[in-house]
């Protein structure tokens, strides 16, 4: 029958921080799922590895509400392709694709659950995500996947038992649907039936703990149906229906609590947490009251009962399992028929004869004893000895009175456990001499409640030991207790395992210090128990793994154990190649946690043993082990720097081909504050792009300047031609004497702009390319240097430059009265004082940004104002020139005056551009 297939994420093309693809391995209401990097390149891909080679029947995808891929493709393979595992090349085979809705109809507030039915065999599944749907919420163009579910069965599953097409056709016309929920009476006889509990929607909207309980109850229901316990199955069916509502409600509470935490509303989060705990405790109490759930499943860590329950048939005395033992099913089935559930032992004892009479009617055989091969069952699944006696001697119970029945029930659990076998007597002889045969027999009992009671009794006995007891007796008591603890640590029953840990903790932290025993006894306790505890960290039960790991970490931090440095030496032992995945993950995780708590100074951890262990773990087959090893190496590098490099290969291109070593060396660079290779490449690329951009801008500016100069040259040539035509009759004789060739007039026109300033009109033989630059930079009366960006600009456009072109243009504002550029921090005071001279429109007057005066409009008026003696008084360049003119060298005054006059006349012939230096012409000059 198809069922949910577990998987791990092998690789992904990338992810956003906090939204790794490994989130897809968890199904719960609060999972966030995977998200691609921001502004990523498409397509993105994820590769999943299933726990075994299987035939996939159904794929389910839960899309994000607005980070939605337009199309998702599916590929399958029997093994990884060559870029993952060399020499094992096999290409992925394409299965097809699905298109996802853009979610525009719901306003991107709902998530689409897509189910795809396939029939493909393989172990690796690759998903390829194409370009995202565009919407206003997805501003970074990402795609996301909240959850994925794979349903199938093992590849060697016999497909010949599939339902024929005729039967499918009949089911179709009868209205039968294989997707009916468990409440409608599921029929699991069909080989292609998929349970609703394996559906992705079930896990995504149910509380994880309640979902696990529902699955166990569903298994018990199926088992009861097969054994024709229909009343019990009916009761389980109703319990599953109620629990589904409970799970959805608890899942909603969890989501509300998470939202409150994100909003930092901790009062609401606390209220939701308390509400969940109260509601969960109430529901579990009801389940336990109706005998539908073992009490052990609801028990918290180290919450050990001090007294066993009275009734021998209580489910607490048996290991929780999917199918109940025969006798327990009968008792529960008959209790379901009663109008009220009874809790008192006396009332239950009175109802014993009717129950057994009813059981006799249900069984097809006249023999009231069930035909169970007890020896084939595990110890914890066998019926209790008291119950088997009741089953074999039912006729005797009719003759017992009520007090006799009560006494019989008490003797069933509070009596002596079964005697020790010969092997157990030889094995535990030393412990029997110290603790007594009764207590040791309880610890060796096949009934877990006896084993637990024996440990609790030993706990109480050690706590009550007087301080004046001889040292030898105390040591013997301790060693006998450690012997029983070693046996109990291997117990598969959680409550017995927790009782052993509680006893061990008391011995180390209370018993030994109280009686002032030596460190040798503490060392004996740790060395005898730590190997077994480390083995339990690889247990198949998640709960037992967590309990064992947490206790080892806690024990390593005991002040009595910390100084011995025993536990670290066990954790740095190399991982075995044939060790289980859980054991390897737990060992390296414990090492990482204790390394942070203990450090490498006097703790048993050294740079040498930690690095040798971590480097060897880099070659482990499990991804999580390798990832944790990388994290440990980076943490060690933060503390010891160069010493760590001695244990690693050289940092070269060949080494960096290994993704793990590349990650390690890039992590070292980040710790040292150096850029990684990727960052260096990005910086080089950015620098190259910046240089190219600057070159393009310079070329663009130069092209604009050249175009502006050509326009002015054309205007000057046209003006000169007109002037030449007007002067031709007057200067005909003079031009005749000079006798130029026919095309001679064009020659001076072409070179008229040589040695000429196009702004002030001055001509000078020293105005070469460098000379003009110097003239523009220091002497031209029409230009000035910006005090903020040091560019040379026209005085007429200085205000526009400060507001639109200057590097500090954001620091200027325009005064609405005088229309000049004023620093923003001074603008409010400037406007408030009203000291500025109001400006006029461009048609009525020009506005000088130096002296802040209005003068006549027009371009020629700018020359007169900036270059004339009666013009602008704030033009510092003009003041310098006038000073030079007023103090000429002796004997050259008249010549200088004539040269200046001719220079002004030559300048007046060149019209200034009508709009001055416009922004588009970009005629600003920087110092070369």
- Residues 127 and 917: their CA atoms lie apart, in Å, by 61
DSSP 758: T
Interhelix angle 581-598/607-617, nearest 10 degrees = 150
Give the dihedral of Cα atoms 421, 423, 428, 430; nearest 10 deg.
110
Please state whether the peptide bond connecting residue 328 to the residue before it is cis, i.e. omega within 30 degrees of 0.
Answer: no
Task: Dump pLDDT digits (tens) for 82-129.
Answer: 555 443 445 788 999 999 998 888 888 888 888 998 989 998 999 999
Q: What mean pLDDT do residues 71-92 have?
A: 69
pLDDT score, position 454? 93
Instruction: Name the pLDDT band for 187 (thresholds 50, 70, 90).
Output: very low
Q: What mean pLDDT do residues 530-557 have?
A: 92
Q: What mean pLDDT do residues 890-904 have?
A: 37
- Residues 363 and 359: their CA atoms lie apart, in Å, by 6
pLDDT score, position 68? 94
- Residues 233 and 245: their CA atoms lie apart, in Å, by 19
Between residues 11 and 319, the one the model is more confident about: 11
Task: Dump pLDDT digits (tens) for 611-643.
Answer: 999 999 999 989 899 999 999 999 999 888 888
Q: How many CA atoms lie within 13 A of 406 on its CB side?
A: 7
Q: Which of 565-569, 748-752, 905-909 has the lowest mean pLDDT?
A: 905-909
Please give the mean pLDDT across all residues of the chain.
76
Task: Dump pLDDT digits (tens) for 226-236.
Answer: 888 888 888 88
Query: If you search the block for the tokens 């000895």, which residue do you land on?
Result: 385
Q: What mean pLDDT do residues 148-162 have?
A: 69
How far does Cα 294 stand from its chain's mean position?
A: 36
Between residues 372 and 207, the one the model is more confident about: 207
Query: Which of 1, 4, 2 lies closest to 203 in space, CA to CA?
Result: 4
Reply yes or no on whether the pLDDT at 472 is more than 50: yes
pLDDT score, position 171? 52
Helix, strand, coil shares, percent, the chain, to 5: 55, 10, 35
Token pair in block for residue 724:
């030449």
Instruction: Name the pLDDT band for 357 (thresholds 50, 70, 90).
Output: very low
Reply yes or no on whether the pLDDT at 253 is more than 60: yes
Give the dihedral of Cα atoms 630, 636, 638, 642; nearest 10 deg.
-100
Q: How many CB atoms lie within 10 A of CB 429?
A: 10
């Amino acid at each position: 029958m198809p069922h949910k297939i577990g998987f791990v994420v092998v690789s992904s093309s990338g992810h956003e921080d906090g939204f790794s693809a490994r989130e897809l391995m968890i199904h719960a209401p609060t999972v966030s799922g995977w998200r691609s990097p921001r502004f990523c390149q498409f397509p993105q891909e994820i590769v999943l590895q299933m726990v075994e080679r299987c035939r996939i029947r159904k794929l389910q995808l839960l899309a994000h509400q607005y980070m939605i891929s337009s199309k998702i493709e599916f590929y399958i393979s029997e093994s990884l392709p060559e870029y993952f595992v060399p020499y094992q090349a096999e290409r992925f085979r394409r299965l097809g694709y699905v298109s996802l809705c853009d979610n525009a109809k719901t306003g991107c507030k709902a998530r689409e659950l897509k189910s795809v039915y396939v029939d493909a065999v393989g172990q690796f599944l690759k998903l390829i995500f194409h370009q995202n749907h565009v919407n206003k919420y997805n501003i970074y163009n990402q795609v996301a996947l909240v959850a994925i579910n794979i349903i199938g069965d093992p590849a060697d599953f016999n497909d010949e038992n599939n339902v024929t097409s005729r039967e499918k056709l009949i089911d179709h016309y009868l209205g039968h649907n294989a997707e009916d929920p468990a409440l409608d009476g599921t029929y699991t006889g069909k080989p292609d039936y998929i349970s609703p509990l394996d559906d992705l929607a079930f896990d995504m909207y149910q509380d994880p703990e309640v979902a696990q309980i529902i699955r166990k109850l569903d298994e018990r229901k199926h088992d009861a149906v097969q054994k024709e316990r229909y009343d019990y199955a009916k009761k389980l069916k109703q319990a599953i229906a109620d629990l589904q509502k409970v799970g959805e409600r608890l899942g909603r509470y969890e989501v509300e609590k998470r939202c409150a935490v994100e909003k930092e509303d901790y009062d609401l989060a606390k209220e939701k947490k308390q509400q969940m705990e109260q509601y969960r405790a109430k529901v579990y109490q009801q389940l336990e009251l109706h005998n539908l759930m073992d009490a052990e499943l609801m028990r918290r860590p180290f919450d050990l009962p001090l007294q066993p329950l009275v009734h021998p048939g209580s489910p607490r005395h048996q290991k929780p399992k999917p199918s109940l033992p025969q006798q327990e099913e009968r008792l529960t089935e008959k209790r379901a028929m009663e109008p009220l559930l009874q809790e008192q032992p006396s009332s239950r004892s009175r109802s014993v004869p009717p129950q057994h009479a009813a059981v006799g009617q249900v069984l097809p055989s006249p023999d009231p004893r069930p035909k169970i091969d007890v020896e084939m069952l595990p110890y914890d699944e066998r019926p209790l000895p008291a119950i088997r006696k009741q089953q074999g001697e039912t006729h005797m119970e009719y003759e017992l009175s009520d007090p006799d029945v009560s006494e019989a029930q008490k003797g069933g659990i509070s009596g002596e456990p079964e005697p020790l076998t010969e092997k157990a007597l030889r094995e535990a002889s030393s412990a029997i001499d110290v603790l007594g045969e009764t207590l040791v027999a309880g610890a060796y009992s096949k009934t877990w409640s006896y084993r637990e009671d024996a440990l609790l009794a030993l706990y109480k006995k050690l706590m009550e030991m007087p301080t004046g007891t001889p040292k030898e007796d105390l040591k013997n008591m301790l060693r006998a207790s450690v012997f029983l603890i070693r046996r109990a640590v291997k117990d598969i029953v959680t409550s017995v395992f927790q009782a052993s840990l509680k006893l061990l903790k008391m011995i180390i932290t209370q018993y030994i210090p109280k009686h002032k025993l030596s460190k040798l006894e503490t060392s004996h306790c740790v060395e005898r128990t730590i190997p077994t505890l480390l083995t339990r960290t690889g247990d198949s039960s998640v709960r037992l793994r967590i309990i064992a790991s947490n206790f080892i970490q806690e024990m390593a931090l005991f002040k009595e154990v910390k100084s011995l440095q025993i536990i670290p030496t066990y954790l740095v032992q190399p991982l075995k190649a044939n060790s289980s995945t859980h054991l390897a993950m737990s060992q390296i995780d414990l090492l990482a946690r204790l390394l942070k708590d203990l450090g490498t100074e006097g703790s048993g951890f050294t740079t040498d043993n930690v690095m040798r262990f971590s480097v060897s773990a880099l070659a482990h087959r499990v991804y999580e082990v390798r990832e944790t090893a990388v994290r440990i190496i980076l943490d060690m590098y933060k503390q010891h720097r160069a010493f760590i490099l001695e244990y690693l290969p050289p940092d070269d291109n060949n080494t960096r081909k290994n993704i793990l070593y590349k990650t390690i060396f890039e992590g070292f660079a980040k710790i040292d504050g150096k850029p990684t290779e990727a960052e260096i490449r990005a910086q080089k690329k950015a620098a190259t792009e910046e240089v190219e951009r600057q070159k393009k801008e310079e070329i663009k500016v130069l092209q604009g300047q050249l175009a502006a100069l050509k326009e002015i040259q054309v205007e000057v040539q046209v003006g000169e031609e007109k002037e030449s035509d007007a002067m031709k009759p007057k200067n005909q004789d003079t031009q005749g004497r000079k006798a130029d060739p026919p095309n001679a007039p064009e020659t001076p026109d072409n070179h008229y702009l040589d040695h000429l300033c196009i702004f002030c009109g001055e001509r000078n033989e020293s105005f070469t390319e460098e000379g003009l630059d110097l003239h523009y930079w220091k002497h031209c009366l029409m230009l000035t240097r910006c005090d903020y960006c040091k560019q040379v600009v026209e005085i007429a456009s200085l205000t526009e430059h400060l507001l639109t072109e200057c590097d500090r243009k954001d620091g200027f504002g325009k005064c609405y009265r005088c229309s000049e550029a004023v620093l923003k921090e001074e603008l409010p005071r400037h406007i408030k004082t009203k000291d500025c001279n109001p400006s006029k429109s461009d048609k009525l007057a020009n506005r000088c940004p130096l002296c802040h005066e209005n003068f006549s409009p027009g371009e020629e008026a700018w020359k007169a104002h900036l270059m004339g003696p009666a013009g602008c008084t704030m033009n510092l360049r003009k003041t310098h020139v006038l000073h030079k003119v007023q103090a000429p060298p002796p004997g050259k005054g008249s010549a200088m005056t004539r040269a200046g006059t001719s220079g002004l006349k030559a300048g007046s012939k060149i019209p200034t551009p009508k709009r001055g230096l416009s922004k588009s012409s970009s005629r600003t000059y920087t110092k070369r």
